[in-house]
Amino acid sequence: MKTQNLKVLFVLTSHDQLGDTGLKTGFWSEELAAPYYALIDNGIEVTLSSPLGGRPPLDPKSQLPDFQTAQTKRFDADETLQEKLSNTKKLSEIDEKDYDAIFYPGGHGPLWDLANDKNSISLIEKFYRNGKPVAAVCHAPGVFKEVKNEDGSPLVNGKRVTGFANTEEDAVGLTDIVPFLVEDELKKMGGIYSKAGDWQSYVLQEGNLITGQNPGSSSETAHKLIELLKTKN
């Protein structure tokens, strides 16, 4: 099936402060780069957006040597993508009707802004209710915190989901810094949470909802989204 003429909206955080630690955060490089290239290499058009528009903050830790991949190196050298990143569209100006799916890269930033952003919440609800795929990886499943089904229940209630594990948050030493733990929040909302070992690729699909556990799940999350889009196209 063709993937040409398909359009996917990426939503990135605008939040750059890691609590009151004085450290910087934002989106995680691999979680944008891997899905972005998986999609555009399949002929899918990607639009980047964020709450404030303009250039979203990149978590400086995600650029450390230990976290570099072929995709992040391509990302760093890609002038076209860097230009797009400097000019993300404001969420308030986005119309769900213009896109076939929505994708949320993680990083810690989304826990502070996107989890409570009214425009983001509304967009996810519109995409999901109109039968369009909704995908999120690592910390980004935290953006479902206030997202509801039409009956008022949490979007993830009764659905198989994953996201950054409590053990992974503990390993990076931020359990007491983040506003909430993704694993705990998904469980609290009635999500049927499961995970693989720390840092292993693990992705779940429940109908039009796709969630990945951690940065290493970014590629697999994107490929599940591509397969789902192919079946719909």
19-32 confidence digits (pLDDT tens): 999 999 999 999 99
Confidence of residue 1 (pLDDT cuts 50, 70, 90): low
Domain ranges of the chain: 7-232
In CATH, the number for domain 7-232 is 3.40.50.880
Sorting pLDDT into bands at 50, 70 and 90, what band is 130? very high
* Residue 108 burial (10 A CB sphere; 0-12, 13-18, 19+): buried
The mean pLDDT of 178-196, rounded to a whole number, is: 98
Q: Distance of CA 26 to CAs 7, 29, 60, 110, 192, Å?
A: 24, 9, 8, 8, 27
Phi and psi at residue 224, to the nearest 5°: -65, -40
Q: Is the pLDDT of residue 141 over 90?
A: yes
Threshold 0.95, pTM exceeds: yes
The Cα angle at residue 191 between residues 104 and 91, in degrees rounded to 5: 25
